[in-house]
Structure 1
């Protein structure tokens, strides 16, 4: 739902004859500040016929110039419903508040080039690794069967304790924690304020031994299991503080460490 004066965005779609419609850009506008930001795909080859590349690139140049000279909101008002048959603006939609360029980047990689954020943390598939100041260091193309959703992210995994399923040096997709049981799931876990040190991150299969008393169920022991039989499980006391960062979804690709 759009709120008057709040940031919004519109998708730029390419409707080329004989081809499936394709989102090729995003325009974000902040009416209060008057600022706007536009991003379009860098490579038009494959989206249109080779002999028509110059036509599309000319339309792109015109649009960029109009946004720069007049501002995004004015250009939207002029162009809504009046673009060519091949380049069309989608409906306005509410955008998150925050730095315009960050909002544009997130929307572009969701809609125009479906991608997942690559977090800067390194998960140790062995002991506990350390990482500080985690941030988005780049973007990785989302697999076709996975939508580019806000609850998915990518992280590096180093070490061989989760081989063969997760090779050392892999980029892996994780889902941010939600509800449901953790039992038997492969989790990305951060230790908090223990003898192992805050910020220690590992990836293991989670097992929990529970006991029941008059007060209900409680954890007797938490076991972090490697998949590689060369390694022993990590046994955690229930009072050790840890945080689940994500649930393993799949290996995205392997890269050299």
Structure 2
């Protein structure tokens, strides 16, 4: 797969449609920022915040819709309605987005349990030695050795967790596109995406890596905006909207376009094999 060619073509498509794509990204960003108005730490407000966040779970489907339109020569169909597509059709796309969340949640829980177990093993033996440093016995030495081993295992688990999360996210990449184009949803979309992305995770990772600079820069500026406006109430909402506008008018149009184009490129083999 020629990643450079895909990126170049995506940049050209995004440049031609930047006004429409930026507006759609801004709408999605503003909608996604709304929960920050309710994130006040208050018990009832926090519950409302979680409910609103759940209702906005599929808001990013608008990116998928807009991206597919511009890479399939249907840019004339772009409209501001694409920005609210995921919200309007929340119930339709809930199974797919909920499946993605559940997969990450289960993996996170497993690793948290393993990391906590290693942490107790590591620091428990260390605390035992510190509490009685003048009585070094064979048992204490054995405990110390286990502590060192647990500490090493702790770091290994942490990096393994990061690697697996990134790998799983890459393998789940096509789920929302498959749902959009073929109506494959939930765990069926998960299975199909894993099959589709086999052998292409490194390519997608490299593509995402080219946007890291923009993402870090926008995150840094967003942090500064949050520091000025705060992160709660009206101030938090205003800061989130400004952050959304920053992303919408810089890298996001090219980002969603290259993702849609990448998906279409790797989906060709599904047509050839008659799987879809």
Indicate whether the TM-score tops 0.5: no
Taking structure 2 as the reference length, the TM-score comes to 0.21
Specify which structure has the higher proportion of helix. 2
Taking structure 1 as the reference length, the TM-score comes to 0.22
Specify which structure has the higher proportion of strand. 1
Q: Relative contact order (alpha carbons < 8 A, sep ≥ 6): 1 or 2 greater?
A: 2
